[in-house]
Every structure is written in C-alpha cells, then in structure tokens.
C-alpha cells in the first residue's frame, strides 16, 4: 500500500480550531474586527511578553509596518541576516531603504554577532549608522541576543525581531517576540501556529498603536473617510483570528511535540559521521519548527539531490534558506562576510518537522533519509548497512547533481 505523503510542516488543526472557526462565522464577526481578534491579540501579548500586539494579514505585512513605524525610508540602511526568507529583506526595499546583509554563525545559521558588530563598525568608519538591525530567529531558534543586544545598545540601534518562525521559543528564559523594539510573527500555513495566512506585530504600546492605524488604511478620526498618510489594508479577519486563538491555546502541546521530533532527529542522526543536526537548544530553547541537518559534501550528495530522493518516496524536504546575497534579486547588495552562509546553503537540508508528524512517519523519514545518504549512482545500496555505504570511496558514494 502506498504511503501517505509527508509534508515539511503542514498545518496541525483539531476539532477545537474547527469549532472556533464556525463559531466566529455564526456570530457574523467575519471581517477584521470582533471578539476573536481582540482575544488573539491579548494571547499574543502574553505569549511574547510584550505590551501590545496587532494582528495583520501576514508576517511580511508585520515587518513592513515595523519599518514604517520606526520611520525607516530612503537613504537608510538596515542590517539583515543573509540567511533568511526573502520577506525579511524585501520589506526593507518596500520602504526604499537598503538591506545590508550579514553572515551567519556556522553552527546555527543564525546571524553571527561578531559579523554584525563588524558590519556596524565598518559602516561607522565611513560615517553611516544603520537605522535598524533586523534579527531572524531562524528555523524556530532565537538568535544570540545576549551579544546582539549588547552591540545594538552600544551603538544605539533599534532591533526589529523577525520571529516569523519562532513563536514559543525562548532565549535565556525570555520569549521570542520580546527582543526587538518591535517583533513580527508569521501565521502562514507552514508555521507552527497558523491562521491559514496571517501575522502579527508585537512590542511597545505606542508603536503598535501607530502600526494599527497604518494597517487600517491610516484612517483619521472623522465620520467621513479622512486620510492624511499612506496606509495599508493589512488587518487580519476575525475568522482567521478565531483559528489562531485555538492554535495558541494548544501552543504548549504543539511546541512539546515539535521539540520531541527535533530531539529524536538529534538522537538518531547525529552519530552519523559527516552529518550535523543543527541543535535548537544552543543559545536558548528553539520551538523545533524545522530541524536542519548539515551534510558533509565530501561524503554525501548535495541537499537538492537528497531532497529529490525523499520526494520520490513521498517525503517533502527542502534545502536550507539560500542566502540573500546569492539571490538574483539582491546580487550586488552590500554584505559583510557570507562564506558561512554559502556553506550553510551548500550543506543544509530541512527535514519534515510538523507537529502532526507521527512516530511511524518520523521513522519512515529517518530510514528513507539515511538510505538516500548512502545511495550511489548505479548500485542500489538499500540492502546494505549505512555504515558500509559510508566506507565507500568518496566519488562512488555521491549521487550525481541533478
Ligand atoms: C523568517 C521569515 N520572515 C518572514 C516571513 C514572512 O511571513 P509571511 O509568509 O506570513 O508573510 C517568513 C515566512 O513565511 C519567514 O520565515
């Protein structure tokens, strides 16, 4: 019998979310106002330990609002980790500012605090001060804030935390979302907490009030429609927020499950020579959103090739984020460092990590993945022990690049 496909990080819905959605529908609060929206924002304040929250249509919208609220625009530079999803950089362009990319810590993929400081010092030497530092809590693990906050305080640069992937994670006991002056969450369909599509900006109350105003077409207070500033249609619907409330009620359980999945990958894969499972628990406690393995390219095939093998077996895996400074869109953009990020991309592969992944499915992923690692071009090694496969000469042990 054919196996059901295994996705990277699919939504994990329960009867609770379904009931909340139908209740919101039946109440006729379906537009971007209503009790579920208020409750969702209150829950987000509490999860992130922040003063205020505004729920919006996407994480990208939240980041865009953060930059607008901080008054960042043409002529400004924003430091952005080069290893991230493109939205972190795009929003800088939306406001007419320039993203300056910063290399990653080779052990985690998260921004390297030393490279960040180097970027600031180099810019300082030529008379520039970045308008903000955007941090990204990569794959669900917080960036190294102990060092980043110290540096940003020293140079008086505000942090915008892109916590799109990290709801429920912590760093030194503080929750994701609490590190920047403003922080963005994503509730896109592939995130640990999803509203089908959505996001939120959290942080300082006065700044969030301004973001709320901009997110509702910047409507001034008057009976008629009065507008003195450029705004956006970014507010989340009450229906989506109702799903979000139920997801947040289950947050502890969702995180416990993804952390257990991560732990099992660490336990069962890290002994393989030439393979490194990026720990989510190095600088804090990640939420386990995605487990990423780094594959020694002298021993194994390229991540894209291995993803292809997994895909043939109905398992979705992905190469890790391609660095922004390598993206056609951002070629020629300023970057500090970049070698660690290049290696991260060359070696990184994300394994299925969704909270709904069953033990049996994870067993199938681990078996198929280790088999794919040991496969060589012409001889099917599936019947051989992986350790034997690893003894094969280097060239014979590689799957050709697709
Ligand atoms: C790091 C990062 N930033 C920003 C976003 C944008 O979020 P959204 O897709 O909700 O716009 C995502 C995810 O999609 C992300 O992973």
Q: Mark whether 169 and 54 lie in a shared domain.
A: yes
76 lines ligand 1 (CB under 6 A): no
Q: Mark whether 115 and 135 lie in a shared domain.
A: yes
Distance 235 CA to ligand 1 centre (A): 16
Q: Mark whether 213 and 274 lie in a shared domain.
A: no
Whether residue 366 is contained in a domain is answered as yes
Residue with token string 């001060």:
129
pTM: 0.93
The CATH number of the domain holding residue 289 is 3.90.1150.10
Q: Mark whether 23 and 136 lie in a shared domain.
A: yes
Distance 384 CA to ligand 1 centre (A): 41
Whether residue 5 is contained in a domain is answered as no
Last residue of one domain, picked from the residues 228, 250, 272: 250
* Closest listed residue to residue 70, CA positions, set 152, 189, 160, 202: 160
Q: Mark whether 124 and 189 lie in a shared domain.
A: yes
The CATH number of the domain holding residue 95 is 3.40.640.10
Q: What is the pLDDT of residues 254-288, one digit of tens each?
A: 999 999 999 999 999 999 999 999 999 887 899 99
Q: Residue 154, Cα to own-chain centre: how many angstroms?
A: 27
Last residue of one domain, picked from the residues 221, 250, 279: 250
What lies within 8 Å, CB to CB, of 153 at 6+ separation is none
Whether residue 6 is contained in a domain is answered as no
Whether residue 315 is contained in a domain is answered as yes
* Atom of ligand 1 at shortest range from CA of 186: 10
Q: Mark whether 203 and 63 lie in a shared domain.
A: yes
* Atom of ligand 1 at shortest range from CA of 87: 4
- Exposure of 391 by Cβ count < 10 A (0-12 exposed, 13-18 middle, 19+ buried)? exposed
Residue 181 has pLDDT above 80, yes or no: yes
Whether residue 8 is contained in a domain is answered as no
CA pair distance 161, 60, nearest whole angstrom: 12
Q: Mark whether 206 and 261 lie in a shared domain.
A: no
Q: Mark whether 64 and 154 lie in a shared domain.
A: yes
Q: Mark whether 48 and 170 lie in a shared domain.
A: yes
Distance 83 CA to ligand 1 centre (A): 13
The count of structural domains within the chain is 2
Residues linked to residue 206 through DSSP beta bridges, in sequence order? none
Q: Name the strands in the sheet holding 291-295, side by side, starting at the edge strand that comes first in the sequence.
A: 275-277, 291-295, 348-351, 318-319
Q: Mark whether 235 and 378 lie in a shared domain.
A: no
Mean per-residue pLDDT over the chain, rounded: 93
Last residue of one domain, picked from the residues 206, 222, 250: 250
Which residue lies with its CA nearest to atom 8 of ligand 1? Answer: 59
Q: What is the pLDDT of residue 3?
A: 86
Give the gyration radius of the chain's Cα atoms.
22
Distance 60 CA to ligand 1 centre (A): 6
DSSP-derived secondary structure for 2-23: PPPPB-SS-----HHHHHHHHH
Q: What is the pLDDT of residues 327-367, one digit of tens each?
A: 999 999 999 999 999 999 999 999 999 999 999 999 999 99
- Exposure of 30 by Cβ count < 10 A (0-12 exposed, 13-18 middle, 19+ buried)? middle
60 lines ligand 1 (CB under 6 A): yes
Distance 22 CA to ligand 1 centre (A): 27
In degrees, rounded to 5, the angle at the alpha carbon of residue 279 between the alpha carbons of residues 274 and 280 is 155
* Closest listed residue to residue 185, CA positions, set 40, 12, 17, 70: 40
Residue with token string 């229906």:
239
Q: What is the pLDDT of residue 1?
A: 60
Which residue lies with its CA nearest to atom 12 of ligand 1? Answer: 164
143 lines ligand 1 (CB under 6 A): no
Distance, first Cα to last Cα, the chain: 29
Q: Mark whether 246 and 277 lie in a shared domain.
A: no
Q: Mark whether 171 and 224 lie in a shared domain.
A: yes
What lies within 8 Å, CB to CB, of 383 at 6+ separation is none
Q: What is the pLDDT of residues 216-263, one digit of tens each?
A: 999 999 999 999 999 999 999 999 999 999 999 999 999 999 999 999
Q: What is the pLDDT of residues 75-112, one digit of tens each?
A: 999 999 999 999 999 999 999 999 999 999 999 999 99
202 lines ligand 1 (CB under 6 A): no
Three-state SS at 252: helix
* Atom of ligand 1 at shortest range from CA of 187: 10
DSSP label at 395? G
Distance 199 CA to ligand 1 centre (A): 9
Whether residue 75 is contained in a domain is answered as yes
DSSP label at 203? E
Q: What is the pLDDT of residues 117-148, one digit of tens each?
A: 999 999 999 999 999 999 999 999 999 999 99
Whether residue 3 is contained in a domain is answered as no
Whether residue 159 is contained in a domain is answered as yes
Domain holding 379, by residue range, is: 252-397
């Amino acid at each position: 019998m054919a196996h059901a496909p295994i996705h990277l990080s699919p939504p994990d819905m329960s009867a609770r979310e379904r009931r909340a959605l139908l209740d919101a529908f039946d109440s006729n609060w379906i537009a971007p106002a209503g009790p579920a929206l208020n409750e969702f924002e209150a829950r987000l304040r509490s999860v992130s330990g922040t003063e205020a929250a505004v729920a919006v249509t996407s994480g990208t919208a939240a980041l865009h609002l953060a930059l607008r609220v901080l008054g960042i625009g043409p002529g400004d530079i924003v430091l952005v980790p080069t290893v991230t999803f493109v939205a972190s950089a795009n929003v800088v362009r939306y406001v007419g500012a320039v993203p300056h990319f910063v290399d990653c810590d080779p052990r985690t993929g998260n921004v390297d605090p030393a490279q960040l400081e180097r970027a600031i010092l180099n810019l300082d030497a030529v008379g520039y001060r970045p308008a903000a530092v955007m941090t990204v809590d990569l794959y669900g693990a917080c960036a190294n804030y102990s060092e980043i906050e110290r540096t940003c305080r020293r140079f008086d640069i505000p942090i915008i935390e892109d916590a799109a992937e990290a709801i429920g994670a912590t760093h030194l006991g503080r929750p994701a979302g609490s590190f920047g002056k403003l922080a963005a969450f994503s509730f896109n369909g592939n995130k640990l907490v999803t509203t089908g599509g959505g996001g939120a900006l959290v942080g300082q109350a006065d700044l969030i009030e301004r973001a709320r105003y901009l997110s509702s077409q910047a409507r001034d207070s008057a009976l008629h429609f009065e507008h003195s500033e450029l705004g956006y249609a970014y507010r989340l619907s009450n229906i989506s927020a109702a799903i979000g409330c139920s997801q947040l009620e289950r947050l502890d359980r969702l995180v416990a499950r993804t952390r257990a999945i991560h732990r099992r990958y660490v336990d069962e894969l890290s002994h393989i020579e030439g393979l490194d499972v990026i720990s989510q628990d190095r600088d804090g406690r990640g939420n386990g959103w995605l487990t990423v393995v780094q594959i020694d390219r002298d021993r194994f095939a390229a991540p894209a090739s291995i993803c292809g093998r997994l895909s043939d077996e109905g398992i979705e895996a992905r190469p890790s984020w391609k660095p922004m400074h390598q993206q056609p869109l951002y070629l020629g953009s300023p970057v500090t460092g970049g070698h660690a990020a290049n290696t991260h991309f060359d070696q990184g592969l994300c394994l299925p990590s969704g909270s709904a992944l069953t033990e049996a499915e994870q067993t199938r992923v681990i078996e198929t993945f280790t088999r794919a690692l040991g496969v060589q071009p012409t001889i099917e090694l599936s019947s051989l022990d992986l350790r034997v496969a690893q003894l094969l000469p280097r060239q014979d042990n590689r799957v050709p690049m697709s």
